[in-house]
Copies of this chain bind each other. A is one copy, B any other.
Amino acid sequence: MQDQLEVITANDAFYEALGRYDIDDMSEIWAKDPWVTCVHPGWKIIYGWEEIEESWKSIFSSEGRLEVSVSHAQVHLAGDYAWVICNENISTTLNKNFFRSNMQATNIFMKQRGRWLMVHHHASPIPEPEPQEFGNTVQ
């Protein structure tokens, strides 16, 4: 139960760093092994913290700001590894415009020296629901 809580806390910390565009906090969350991997939505996979750090810096240099909330999180423990499957509910503000998007994420963590660190992040867009039809249509 303790591990489960620690993993969900690590997962939440990842999204808090993302929401704050905080590269130092993001760095705290990731393992620094050369084999760690990251798939941003619509990007090619990138390998190793160095490349991953560059990608976050590029995302965080955007003028937009985003808010992320996580839902439907499912934690699976596998010894010193764990994976979390969750929905990312993202609101982006850019030049007074406002966008909402939903992503499906698979996040894998590894326990290193007592801390759960991210070793793989794979996020991809979830299709938007069909627009609702209203009863009162203009004929």
Contact = CB atoms under 8 A, between A and B. Distances in A.
A120 B78 CA distance: 13
A45 B85 contact: yes
A80 interface: yes
B39 A76 contact: no
Contacts of A41: 124
Contact of A78 (B37, B74, B81): B81
Contact of A80 (B35, B78, B83): B78
A41 to B, nearest CB: 8
Interface string A36-73: 01010111110000000000000000000000000010
Nearest to A41: B124
A123 to B, nearest CB: 8
Interface string A116-139: 000110101111000000000000
A89 interface: no
A27 interface: no
Interface of A: 35, 37, 39, 41-45, 72, 74, 76, 78-81, 83, 85, 87, 104, 106, 108, 110, 119-120, 122, 124-127
5 contacts: A39-B106, A79-B79, A106-B106, A106-B108, A122-B124
